[in-house]
Structure 1
Amino acid sequence: MQLEFHQVDAFATQPFSGNPAMVYRLDGWLDDGLMQQIAAEHNLAETAFAVKEGAAWHIRWFTPSAEVPLCGHATLATAHVLFELYDEPGDVLTFTCLSGTLRVSRVGKRLVLDFPVRRAVPCELQAEVEQALGQTVQAVLALHEGLGVQELLAILPSEAAVRACQPDLAQVARLPGLGLLISAPGEAHDFVSRYFAPGIGINEDPVTGSTHCILTPYWAQQLGKQTLSAFQCSARGGELHCELDGERVKIAGQALLIASGRLLLP
């Protein structure tokens, strides 16, 4: 069996920046275990698999060690592949996933994700988060989904503090939830962030679209504005254009195809 794959740098305007994702457009679903093995083989933050089901595309995302319920950059990458390589008609793609219905629109050179708002609330984990980060923080919030914490958000005082942060990844992995998001007001952007998820095989994610479903409503309230510019200041870095629209978040960015190939399976 041979499967086509495509590697895309999402939230990037030049190669080797933004967040790389692997994309598979499938005619039918593979076994869950096989998809997890494929994601581990590629060893990128996310590998996306998409299957056409009716008028929509069902999309699933896998880190090297786990399936996740929502991923922004790999959805952007998948939309880029479907539009540019598989000639999907129109300028809007509809995706279904574990988190509901998502849409991606093509607007000029940008792709715009239409994702659900994810609201984080204050929590009582400040001491544990400060120990993991090795510094004091202004606030700690948690996103609760299902039976427990899905994500943690720590607010730092400045962009410099975000950039300089060197967390203890072993302690971060012991925190509840998928990962730890840190953020602060930006210097050239409305806000900046970084995201650490060693518990699911991602020490630091270069650019994370889904976390901006949390960050956008938070900073919209803090700054009193609905349209915000964001920068994820990882080593690769990536710029995102965010808008709070009721209970939806619009997240826009560009994408570049970096490589294509075939996976050879017995």
Structure 2
Amino acid sequence: MTLPIYQVDAFADKVFAGNPAAVCPLQEWLPTEQMQAIAAENNLAETAFFVPRAGGSDAEFELRWFTPTVEVDLCGHATLASAHVLFRHLGATAEQLTFHSKSGPLHVRQQPNGRLTLDFPAQPPLPLHQHPEGLTDGLRATPLRILAGPDLIAVFDTEAEVRALHPNMTHLAQVEYRGVIATAPGSNDIDFVSRWFGPRVGVPEDPVTGSGHTQLVPYWAERLGKTELHARQVSARGGDLWCELRGNRVLISGYAVTYLRGEIEWS
């Protein structure tokens, strides 16, 4: 059996930057354990699988995402990568694609400047007044404040503190959230920076995390008093995201570039 596979660097305008995602177009779903095995073999933060939506238009798909160890409910960069594959390689001509997922309908639109824009549900975080077990030892630093959404958000005073973090992943895996986001104000034209750590789901550090910005954008929009924000994830690979808070939705824009095309083979 063969299966097409693409690897795309999302939130990047050149290869070897941004966040690599594997994308596997399907005509029908494989067994969940088979998709999980493929994701483990790829050993990327996420592998996305999509199928045409039954009874839908040619711009509608069902979409699922897997880390090397678990299936997740929402992933930004692999959604961006899936849309890139459809637009760039599979002949999609619609201005907007809709992916139906465990997090509801997700839309991706092509922009004239070459960016792709994700339309995701906003997930505003709430203040947390007690540091969860493992957080301070895991980050090896004490944040100014803690917020809780699907991820735990640790807010620091400066970008330099976020860049300098060298987490203890064993301790950080004790934090009972999907991931831990460290964030701080940015500099120059960057409104805020972040890093995302997810040893609990098999991703020690994610290079650029679209889904994390569904939580970060509402927080920083309120704090900075603006709805349009330029964000940068300051991992080793790094990536830029142009974001907008629009009611209960977050628009997240970025570039994507294909790194490889191939086939998976198994008997």
Q: Do they superpose with TM above 0.5?
A: yes
| In 2: Cα distance, 1:165 partner to 1:177 partner | 19
Residue equivalent to 2:129 = 124
Matched, 1:137 2:143: yes
| In 1: Cα distance, 2:141 partner to 2:183 partner | 13
Structure 1 residue 130 displacement after superposition: 2.1
Question: Out of 65, 83, 87, which is 1:83 matched to?
Answer: 87
Q: Is the 8 A contact 1:126 1:137 kept in 2?
A: no
| In 1: Cα distance, 2:248 partner to 2:182 partner | 23
The residue identity in structure 2 corresponding to 1:39 is A
CA RMSD of aligned residues (A): 0.9
**Greater strand share, structure number:** 1
Structure 1 residue 127 displacement after superposition: 6.1
| In 2: Cα distance, 1:132 partner to 1:200 partner | 15
| In 1: Cα distance, 2:187 partner to 2:151 partner | 25
Residue equivalent to 2:42 = 42
Residue equivalent to 1:110 = 115
Residue equivalent to 2:5 = 5
| In 2: Cα distance, 1:63 partner to 1:49 partner | 12
Residues 47-196 of structure 1 mapped to structure 2, 5 A cutoff: 47-53=47-53, 54-55=56-57, 56-108=60-112, 109-126=114-131, 128=133, 129-143=135-149, 150-188=150-188, 189-196=190-197
Residue equivalent to 1:146 = none
Gaps of 5+ in 1: 144-149
TM-score normalised over the length of structure 1 = 0.96
Q: Note the alpha carbon deviations across 1:1-51, whole angstroms, 9 max, x for none.
A: 100000000000111000000001100000000000000000000000000
Q: Is the 8 A contact 1:130 1:136 kept in 2?
A: yes
The residue identity in structure 2 corresponding to 1:52 is P
Residue equivalent to 1:241 = 242
Aligned residues: 260
Q: Is the 8 A contact 2:132 2:175 kept in 1?
A: no
| In 2: Cα distance, 1:80 partner to 1:72 partner | 12
TM-score normalised over the length of structure 2 = 0.96
Matched residue of 2:204: which SS?
strand
